[in-house]
């Protein structure tokens, strides 16, 4: 049996899926056609129903629940892992956030939802590929930007400064870990198979944890010019016990994020009993 599988080239994702897609564990007869893409592309593909299994931002989950169910393993959810709202010192001293033009890493991202939760009054947004946001701030295309992934470790080196840790704001306000990204599988696939793939993802991650802090060639290849120390920071921040299994606390956090989405968009309630595979 062969399925399509999409995730990002970021170290946290390649760390999770390395053993699965490179046959370092027994895949029990299941094969995967793997595509590595940025999260906004994967979100759009999920809306289109393009892949069988995919990493997504939890921000896009509300619009794909009819097509996909959330797997227990492989996601990014935790504490102290949220996106940051950053700007230049000059802008920070002269403008209030509500009057800023803000770059967001994709419309259907968790970062957008967390930003909208913290700053619902901001009207001018520019949806921008995540690794182009810092340059957009520096060249004056936008006043501020929401950064994710490895950029949160390096933005200060470019003279940028933090306005707000959006994850910290979520944690303090909602009192729950931050649901950033999850793994989804198509509902048209037999539930037993969804559970089987979920278990393989967990085994793949367990394998990587056993090798850590060693960084595999697969992770290095896809991280391009990133320093190994930054790769480890990335893995340490985004991969944890919630990545092995959401559990009750993780599922409740995802449900709270969906509640926030409903409140912000004034949309119809989502049937949360049917969101998860397990």
Residues labelled as active-site residues = 149
**Coil, helix or strand for 2?**
strand
What is the biggest distance separating any 2 CA atoms in the chain, rounded to whole angstroms? Answer: 60
Give the pair of three-digit tokens for residue 158: 């470019």
CA 90, CA 107: separation in Å to the nearest integer? 27
As a whole number of angstroms, the distance between CA 251 and CA 81 comes to 17
Q: Using CA of residue 161, residue 167, residue 171, residue 174, what is the dihedral sign?
A: positive
Angle between helices 191-211 and 11-21 (to 10 degrees): 110
Q: How many other C-beta atoms are found inside a 10 Å radius of the C-beta of residue 173?
A: 11
Evaluate whether 202 touches 245 at the Cβ level (below 8 Å). Answer: yes
Tell me how far apart the alpha carbons of residues 235 and 188 are, in angstroms, rounded to a whole number. Answer: 32
Residue 31 CA from chain centroid, whole number: 24
Secondary structure in 3-state letters for 29-59: CCEEEEEECCHHHHHHHHHHCCCCEEEEEHH
| Residue 227: how many other CB atoms lie within 10 Å | 12
Distance, first Cα to last Cα, the chain: 21
């Amino acid at each position: 049996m062969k399925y399509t599988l999409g995730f990002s080239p970021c170290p946290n994702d390649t760390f999770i899926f390395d053993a699965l897609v490179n046959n370092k564990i027994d895949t029990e007869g299941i094969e995967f056609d793997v595509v590595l893409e940025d999260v906004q592309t994967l979100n759009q593909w999920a809306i289109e129903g393009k892949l069988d299994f995919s990493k997504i931002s939890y921000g896009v989950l509300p619009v794909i629940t009819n097509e996909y169910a959330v797997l227990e393993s492989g996601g990014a959810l935790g504490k102290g892992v949220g996106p940051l709202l950053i700007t230049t010192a000059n802008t920070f001293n002269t403008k209030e956030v509500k009057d800023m033009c803000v770059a967001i890493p994709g419309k259907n991202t968790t970062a957008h939802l967390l930003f909208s939760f913290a700053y619902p009054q901001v009207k001018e947004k520019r949806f921008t590929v995540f690794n182009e946001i810092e340059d957009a701030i520096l060249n004056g295309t936008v006043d501020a930007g929401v950064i994710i992934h490895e950029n949160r470790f390096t933005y200060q080196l470019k003279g940028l400064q933090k306005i707000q840790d959006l994850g910290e704001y979520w944690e303090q306000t909602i009192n729950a870990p931050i649901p950033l990204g999850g793994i989804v599988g198509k509902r048209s696939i037999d539930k037993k198979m969804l559970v089987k793939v979920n278990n393989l993802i967990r085994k793949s991650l367990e394998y990587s944890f056993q090798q850590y802090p060693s960084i595999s060639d697969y992770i290095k290849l896809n991280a391009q010019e990133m320093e190994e120390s930054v790769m480890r920071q990335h893995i340490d921040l985004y991969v944890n016990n919630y990545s092995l299994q959401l559990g009750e606390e993780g599922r409740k956090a995802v449900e709270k994020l969906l509640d926030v989405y409903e409140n912000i968009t004034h949309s119809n309630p989502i049937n949360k009993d049917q969101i998860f595979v397990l």
